[in-house]
Amino acid sequence: MLGSIAKLLELYPDAKVVVEPSADPDDYNFLIQDQWVTIKKDHLSTKEKFLLSLVSQDNNNKSINNNWWNFLVHESDKIPSEKSNVRILQFEVQKLESDDRAKEWLNVFVDTFDDVVDSFWINKYTGILIEKETKTNMDKLEVQRMIQLIDSDFYTKSRVYVGQFWPINEKLPNIFDMERQLFHKSLEMKDNVNNLSTVILDFLIEQNLKNTDMFKSLKKKIDIDSKTTQMINALYKCDSNLTKTAKELFLHRNTLLYRMEKFHEQTGFDLKDRDDLVLCFLLLK
């Protein structure tokens, strides 16, 4: 077994070398020397995931002969001459059988955007599209619909992180470093298309709070059972509207109120209070 993978398995004995990425949502997948390695998410911090993603692409990055990529990963100080703001869409595609199929997928993906500056694969599974800012750029929902259509046509499983629009200057590579971390965090999310708004909350919690004794103690206090978790998530999703929440949970409104009151008695958190609800929602992330 090749050196870097062997060393990784020494550090993480539960990691496994697999033929293709795991579809289990509790697993984290990364590519090293053209081999997929999978490990349970709860064994890795966001920082570890990011570092592993850099390792997994180290050899591939050297073979990418692209001026944009070299600029974004700090290998070149030459700032691209494009004048308008750009955003970077990062994508991961599973179940592409061949290089020709990958080229075809990327061509179709690119054709759905109006003002593409550049697009390329980073490795066999991940790539980048750089798009100019215009009045007709697709929003996250439109990108999500488009990806669903492409996946349906190609029988693939794709995930996309839609970056913000930024000016092209010397700060962009550092911004891209952060967007790379957010992209890898987005691979853990339920939706197949994400952006800063959908990822940043989970990212910041994991970075700043998740490992504190206070966070762990509070989480243990409210993490009573799966029904409680579903109730808190549904209340948050429905913006505290009890009628909508009861409908979402297939409960009678009075049953929902009873469970909320019981939760209040057990924990001291009143889910009818918006601040308490948001805190409980964050604690369950």
Q: What is the pLDDT of residue 103?
A: 95
Q: Among 119-128, 176-185, 207-216, 234-243, whose mean pLDDT is lowest?
A: 207-216
Q: What is the pLDDT of residue 142?
A: 95
For the segment 68-83, what is each residue's pLDDT rounded down to a tens digit? 999 998 888 999 988 8
Judged by DSSP in three states, 24 sits in coil
Quick check: 117 and 86 in contact, CB under 8 A? yes
Instruction: Provide mean pLDDT across the span 40-47.
Output: 74
Q: Where are the domains of the chain?
A: 3-62, 67-196, 209-283
For the segment 198-252, what is each residue's pLDDT rounded down to a tens digit? 888 778 777 777 677 777 788 888 877 889 999 999 999 899 999 999 999 999 9
**pLDDT band for position 1 (cuts 50, 70, 90):** very low
Matching residue, tokens 């990806």: 147
**Domain 209-283 bears CATH identifier 1.20.1250.40:** no
**pLDDT band for position 164 (cuts 50, 70, 90):** very high
* Rounded Cα gap, residues 195 and 234, in angstroms: 21
Instruction: Provide mean pLDDT across the span 109-138.
Output: 93
**In this structure, which topology does domain 67-196 adopt according to CATH?**
Alpha-Beta Plaits (3.30.70)
Smallest Cα–Cα separation from 61: which of 132, 120, 131, 6? 120
